[in-house]
Each structure stands twice: as structure tokens, then as C-alpha cells.
Structure 1
């Protein structure tokens, strides 16, 4: 088995660098040969912290296994199972039985890595300086929002793309709760908010966490164990009402045989639903942050108009708040990929690093809140922020303190950021025009062969209203943030990567 492990550099002072071929060899990745006894494997590592883990407790788990000489961080992931108590202020008890099982509310994460709230890494039992992140949710929101469309589509159950969720597709990170299960759980309760217990299982790829993004193969047999301690953030969840027409059609196709054998009444009600669903039934058509309020369909029923059996479809739409009371982590597993290496291989790596440090480039996002908000006419604020080795500045505009992964375009004009007397960019921006869109694609390396997700592009380009009214949402546009390239270091000089 060949494993690409290290990059060898030949000093340029050597005389064999006269040809282009030899120059390329100085940057070649040298493969190491393993015999048939040293193979790839995946190890399940249990946490060192106590399980089940109660609300707001830390999970402490190793990211290396003694059976691996080399750990493949880029292929490894953490699996979390937890039970969450969701709160609803509506019982959804105005649904006819014919429609309950075919209508759904999605509760989940836009990206699984956003579940982590705080994190810190340990190497050989000691905390790694600079690895502490107190706002990992925001960090992973920024990092995962600009991941390419193909990467997110290929990672089923890790990312929840709006265009997939609205079609009731299983490619999502979360759960579809049908109205029947919700109403059955809430029916016996007499006082709002009503509680529903929901079980979730989430897989978090390590390379979706920013600090691991440049770490691929880690020779733990030489450099020791790695561990991570983290808390999860229940407020990073979102909820969304699936298009009832789409979900009802899927429900009919999947359960056609059962419906045909159950009698004609339910089939007639479903037929009435498709014939009478109206565009006037307007509900919130995008992800909403957990803890916030959205207009949801709270009742669909067929009401008789005449004694002869003529029916009309009635749809109730009301503001509904979905929030989290608490949660319990029932299980946590680090699924670590790696392999054993031959002694010859390890000796070669040991010799290579005997005179060199093992360097892993790592990025970190610091979060700073401006001291005041916008006025009715403008946003003019300032804040003293120490800048050191900064590649980009990202601006987010939460509408309130509950927004942790849902940020809308503020639709600002003449927007600029100033630091040390320099403006970024050099001219005022309009956050909706073509120039701004192109600048954001370039800043996030999505301007050539890499395609941005539809929801990110829509967040950058979709107007939310005009001078007199706010538009109803027809797409998802709460994945908005502004990336401003600055690339400066602590001595005031500009460096461009």
C-alpha cells in the first residue's frame, strides 16, 4: 500500500537543480512502501468524558489511536447522538388526519460543523496555544458557507442545502418531523410551550472544522496523541416548513398501495388538496433560526360546504416559535482513519523531521461585535480591533441576538471599512449590484472552476424589498456575509497570498 506522507525539499544550493526536471523533483511528494501487514483501518474511539453528557457539558475525546502510526485527519469524522427537547407554541391540531402524515417540518443544521460551540485541542496532554475557539459556530458558518456546491452535494447528511430540503430530499443534516408525530406528542399537553423529544445523529467531518482544514496525515506514532474538547451549540439549528404540495406528492407515491386499500375518503381529501391548494397560502419559505418565529402552516382540513358533500380546502397560517429547552448527548464516537507504517517508513519520516519542525498551517477566526446598531438611515459605527496576520475581514449582520447561522443581506449602499486610514475596498460598495457579487466570488475563490451554492449566490443578489414594501421570500437568502480581503501582518506591511 502506498501512502503519500511527506514533502522533501532539496536545498537550492545543490548543483543538480540545473534542469527543469530536477527542479520539479524538489517539490515531489515521496511515497512510502508498506508491506502486507500494515493496512488501512477505521477505529471507533469512545470519549474520555462521561456519557450520557448533560446539557452544556464538555465532550473530551481522542483523535488518535495506538493502532495507527499515521492518522488521516482529512478522512476522519466525529459522530454525535443526542436527544433534544424542542418547544412549540402551537399544537398543529387543525390538520385533518388525511394530511398529517404527508406534511413535514425540517429541523436540522445548515452544516454539521456549526453544531460545535467551543473547542480546544490538546497535544500530549497539553493545551495547544491558539487552538481555543469560543465561537466555533460563527467560524464554521463562514468556512462552510463558501464550500463549493459539488462538495456539499457529495457530503450527504453533512450539509443541508436549501434546494434539497425544500424538495423533501434525504440529503440533509437533520430530521423531517411529520405533523402527525408532532401533534400526537403535543396533544396531551395543556400549557404552552409544548415539548417534543427528538433524537438526532450528526456526523462532523474533521476537515469541515477550520483548524483542521490544512491537516491531512498526522504521524501520531512520532509526534504523540491529539485530543479535542468541545461543547455543542443547540441554538445553531434551523427549522423550515417543507412545501406541502411537494411533500404530499412524495407521501402519496411512497404510500400509494396503503392509501388505495384504506378507502376512498382519504384519497378524495388528498385529491381535493392538490386541486385547491392556493398561492394565497403564504408561509415563511426559508430556513429560520431556532428560537425565532416564522409563519407556518398550522392547519389543513377539508370542510363541507353543502349537505351533498361539496368540500373546500381550508389552510391556517400562524406565527410559530420553535426553540430548544435542553439536550442530552447520549453517545459520541471519533471515527479515525489511519494505517500502520513499516519501521523503514517511520525511520525515514523520523530522519526527515529530525532537523525540521512539523508545521501545520491553521487559520482562526476572531469574532468582534460592534458596540451599536444601525439607525433608521445609516450604519456608522467604529471599533478598535487589534489586527495581526489578517487575511480577510468578514462582516455579518444579525437581525437579533438569536441569529447564529442565519444572516440576511442588509441591502446597504456606500459601504466601506476603514483601518489605519485605509479604506477596504478602495471604493464604496452596494451589497446588491453585480460589482459586489463578483468581488465576493473572487475573495472566496469561487470565480473560476469552483461553483458556489445557489443559496450563497441568492443571499448576495436577491433584493428583499423596494422603497415601499418587503417582498415575500421565494428563495433562501440567509447565508450572507461580506468578505473583504486585506492580507496584512502585524508590522503594517501588506502581504498577498
Structure 2
């Protein structure tokens, strides 16, 4: 694993006056770091589940031994936007179909080799336009409290689940000001922007997300700089005038697994039908089960 960082490579002292006042000078240069071996010392995870008794599991087994059933799930697809940020901000678009999309989220890499590290671009007046609508309804600022709360809600971290400190820091920590770039001592690479397109109140029985019937539609991402020039820490990747790669667009699609007892057990991966259409294919499906 390799990475490039701006490090202090030389420290020198020069005398300013005859009285003995001196300046301490730091030379900062890009340095390539190579890591051959590393040890994971700690891992954290937020897990919440429900316990089923043995009797409950046995009844489920008996019920579906002779009946087909549906398991809803999600598929994630990722593609890069064609262009990256500029000195004035970002306007880029992608034309793709949106079949049964529940969420869109954007990732902002600073280095093409950093496949799991994404940063806050520090933009305002930012939104996504698709299907004739802007998301969110009002342009957002990626550094304010409203954006922070919106992302907690989109990640289901506002009620039952608790966000990790790393995730919170990536959302709310400022990396620069109007006059200087700040030296950050914590990990801020978990940043992403999520937009929900499906309501949370229908229990997944009615799809109310985005569906373009497999027709291409424009998805335009806009954003204006909060900090410009040398203090723009997203556009200025390092001291070698490298620029970040284009942002990544991820789409979350609603799909289904169809399990049945035929021929000793069958499984069909359905990506083209709605929930109602899937149910119509299954003979003898039971809508409500009570134990």
C-alpha cells in the first residue's frame, strides 16, 4: 500500500536581527510512503438484530417448505462522472437509466488510487438534478448543521443506530478557512452524500422511488466553492498541482430474490419487476403471516 503526503523534510534556523531573534524554517515536500506490513488493532461495528425462538424458526420452515417466497434486497451500481471539479466549482452530468432507484449517493475521491477514502469537497449551493427535480429541494452547504442532520437521517443514524465518531467527524470537521488550510489530525475519509428517493413509511410494499423504465436520464451534480484559491483543499490535492479525479455516482436499486421449493429448491434473481409484479408470478403466496 502506498500513499503520498506532504511532510516536513527539513528544519533550519536563520537569524533575523543582531539581538539574537531567530526564525525556524520548515521545508515541506511531497513524500511517498510505502507500508509493507500493518496490524489491525481494533475494529468497531454497530449491529442490531432481533432474536427468533426455535419454535418460530420451525414454523417458518414448515410454512415455506411447500410455498415460494420473496426476499427484497438492494443492488449498488457505481460509475464516475465524466468531469471533475474546477477552480470555480463543479458542474458535471451522467446519462444512465434509473430502474427502481431508492437512493443516490456521491463520493469525492482526492486520489484515483485511494479507492476507499473520500473527502468533503466543502461546497455550497450543491444539489443533484434528475427527472425534472432538484435534490434536495433547497441547495445545501456541506459544512452546516442542516446538511449534517440530513445525512444522519439518510443513513438511519438518527434513531435506533448511533453514528461512529469517525463518520461524524467526516461530516462536520472543517479542513480549511478563507485564509488558510488546517492540519487535521483525525481520519476524515468516510464522507459521502446520500439522497433518499423512497419514503420510509410504506413498508416497501409500494415502490415510490425513481424509475425511468430503463430509459437514460440526465443526472446533473452542481456545487460552488466555499473556499477558493490556495485554501481549496479539495481541488488542490498536494503541492505538485495534482487535481482530484471525477466524483463517483452510486445508485441503489430495489431488486428481489425469488425462492421456491420446485426441483429441490430454486432461486431467481429478479431485477426487472416491481413488487406487485413479482407477487403475481408466485402461486399461493401468503401476504400476511402471524405467529
Residue 401 (1) aligns with residue 112 (2):
yes
Structure 1 CA distance, aligned partners of 2:185 and 2:153? 27
- In structure 2, what is the equivalent of residue 473 of structure 1? 184
User: How far off its partner does 1:403 sit?
Assistant: 1.7
Pairing partner for 1:379 from 82, 85, 90? 90
Structure with more relative contact order (C-alpha pairs < 8 Å, separation 6 or more)? 2
- In structure 2, what is the equivalent of residue 410 of structure 1? 121
Structure 1 CA distance, aligned partners of 2:186 and 2:165? 9
User: How far off its partner does 1:421 sit?
Assistant: 0.7
User: How far off its partner does 1:349 sit?
Assistant: 5.5
Alignment of 1:47-86 (within 5 A): none
Deviations 1:22-72 (A, max 9, x none): xxxxxxxxxxxxxxxxxxxxxxxxxxxxxxxxxxxxxxxxxxxxxxxxxxx
Corresponding residue SS for 1:384: strand
Structure 1 CA distance, aligned partners of 2:179 and 2:135? 31
Pairing partner for 1:490 from 202, 211, 233? 211
User: How far off its partner does 1:319 sit?
Assistant: 4.5
- In structure 2, what is the equivalent of residue 62 of structure 1? none
Structure 2 CA distance, aligned partners of 1:318 and 1:381? 32
- CA gap of 1:389–1:409, structure 2 versus 1, over 3 A, is same
Corresponding residue SS for 2:78: coil
- CA gap of 1:484–1:346, structure 2 versus 1, over 3 A, is closer
- In structure 1, what is the equivalent of residue 146 of structure 2? 435
Q: TM-score, normalised by structure 1?
A: 0.31
| Greater percentage in helix | 1
Alignment of 1:319-330 (within 5 A): 319-323=30-34
- CA gap of 1:351–1:478, structure 2 versus 1, over 3 A, is closer
Residue 456 (1) aligns with residue 177 (2):
no
- In structure 2, what is the equivalent of residue 422 of structure 1? 133
- In structure 1, what is the equivalent of residue 158 of structure 2? 447
User: How far off its partner does 1:458 sit?
Assistant: 1.1
Q: Which stretches in structure 1 are left out of the alignment for 5+ residues?
A: 1-289, 300-314, 326-341
Q: Which stretches in structure 2 are left out of the alignment for 5+ residues?
A: 11-25, 37-53, 199-208, 214-253, 255-291
User: How far off its partner does 1:405 sit?
Assistant: 1.1
Structure 1 CA distance, aligned partners of 2:60 and 2:159? 37
- CA gap of 1:463–1:402, structure 2 versus 1, over 3 A, is same
Deviations 1:181-212 (A, max 9, x none): xxxxxxxxxxxxxxxxxxxxxxxxxxxxxxxx
User: How far off its partner does 1:431 sit?
Assistant: 0.3
Q: How many residues align?
A: 173
Q: Which structure has the larger Rg?
A: 1
Corresponding residue SS for 2:121: coil
Corresponding residue SS for 2:148: helix
| Greater percentage in strand | 2
Structure 2 CA distance, aligned partners of 1:426 and 1:404? 30
Structure 2 CA distance, aligned partners of 1:469 and 1:438? 27
User: How far off its partner does 1:292 sit?
Assistant: 1.8
Corresponding residue SS for 1:401: coil
User: How far off its partner does 1:442 sit?
Assistant: 0.8
- In structure 2, what is the equivalent of residue 291 of structure 1? 2
Deviations 1:133-154 (A, max 9, x none): xxxxxxxxxxxxxxxxxxxxxx
Deviations 1:216-265 (A, max 9, x none): xxxxxxxxxxxxxxxxxxxxxxxxxxxxxxxxxxxxxxxxxxxxxxxxxx
Alignment of 1:242-257 (within 5 A): none
Corresponding residue SS for 2:169: helix
Structure 1 CA distance, aligned partners of 2:133 and 2:168? 28
